[in-house]
Amino acid sequence: MDKKNQTLLTVSIAIVIIVALAAIFMGSDDEKQQDQQLGQQQDQQQTQTQPQDQQEATQQQTSETTQINVAAAASLTEAFTDMEKEFEAENPGIDVVYNFGASGTLRTQIEGGAPVDVFASAAEDQMDMLATKGFVYNDTREDFVENSLVMIAPKGNTLGLTGMQDLTKTEVEKISIGNPDSVPAGKYAKEAITNAGLWDSVSGKMLMAENVKQALVYVERGEAEAGFVFSTDASSAENGSIEVITSVPVTTPITYPIAVVSSTQNQDDSQLFIDFVTGEKGKSILEQYGFSIPQTG
């Protein structure tokens, strides 16, 4: 083979080697790209699967939790809210949902078919009405706390009020009470004012509230010169917003009953809540908020 042909052969072999190496490198890059694409697809699948797994776990947890709806007098707001944490800690499978309001309004809602499992009233008569119509299980009914009625004024008591007789003063333009037709505190207040022989002379000054908490707020804001609330509500007022003028005598004891509503689908869990409220821990919390525990036996 002459020198020229040998050179051509060498060049040809070199070209073949270069092409082969290039093919190898290109194939390696393709494999890397495929691996990257496969990895991305797996990541996406994982990302899509995780929320689904979390959702299934949440649904499973929800299905294992029973919700009980408790309709309770507005004056129980602070104590029952505090009690919820303790109760649910002892009963992790039960979720307590509250509806606080005027006892008369809550009674009407129960009569109308509202989904309520437990009713806690600030007056016996509202529970009596439900019991008469078969809306509660009488054997679950218990009187669990007592309260008292007080007359209040905005902080400073600039009018110098000392008792109910001062409600007739011209300077007293508005007197805040809960609507006697639906709010137990308002009903007790009207009875007390009537028994004092003052209702006819001051009834035109009444600023009717939807519940006892609203009656308190009217005095806190200075929208009424005087008001009537439960002593526990006065204790829950904003610091420096009101003054308690005097305790108000009532002819009917202010006793709170609680019972399981007969339309409940969760009677056992509802009874567990009542047992907690009337048990030692429940009593302790209620006393912390100023309620008295009825003496039995």
252-279 confidence digits (pLDDT tens): 999 999 999 999 999 999 999 999 999 9
50 pLDDT band (50/70/90 cuts)? very low
Residue 58: per-residue pLDDT: 43
CB atoms within 10 A of CB 188: 27
Residues in Cβ contact with 66 at an 8 Å cutoff, skipping those fewer than 6 apart: 93, 94, 95, 266, 269
Portion of the chain with pLDDT greater than 70, in percent: 78
User: Does pLDDT of 205 surpass 70?
Assistant: yes
CA-closest candidate to residue 211, choices 71, 76, 103, 98: 103
57 pLDDT band (50/70/90 cuts)? very low
Share the mean pLDDT of the chain.
87
User: Does pLDDT of 110 surpass 90?
Assistant: yes
User: Does pLDDT of 87 surpass 60?
Assistant: yes
Cβ–Cβ < 8 Å for 168, 204: no
Single-letter amino acid code for the residue at 281: K
20 pLDDT band (50/70/90 cuts)? low
- pLDDT (mean) for 70-82: 97
- pLDDT (mean) for 57-65: 56
DSSP letters, the chain, are --HHHHHHHHHHHHHHHHHHHHHHHHHHHHHHHHHHHHHHHHHHHHHHHHHHHHHHHHHHHHHT-EEEEEEEEGGGHHHHHHHHHHHHHH-TTEEEEEEEE-HHHHHHHHHTT---SEEE-SSHHHHHHHHHTT-B-GGG-EEEEEE-EEEEEETT-TT---SGGGGGSTT---EEEE-TTT-HHHHHHHHHHHHTT-HHHHGGGEEEESSHHHHHHHHHTTSSSEEEEEHHHHHTSPTTSEEEEEEE--SS-EEEEEEEBTT-S-HHHHHHHHHHHHSHHHHHHHHHTT-BPPP--
Residues in Cβ contact with 210 at an 8 Å cutoff, skipping those fewer than 6 apart: 101, 102, 105, 178, 179, 182, 183
User: Does pLDDT of 174 surpass 90?
Assistant: yes
Residue 64: per-residue pLDDT: 81
Portion of the chain with pLDDT greater than 90, in percent: 76
User: Does pLDDT of 223 surpass 60?
Assistant: yes
Q: Which of 38-42, 172-176, 281-285 has the lowest mean pLDDT?
A: 38-42
Residue 271: per-residue pLDDT: 98
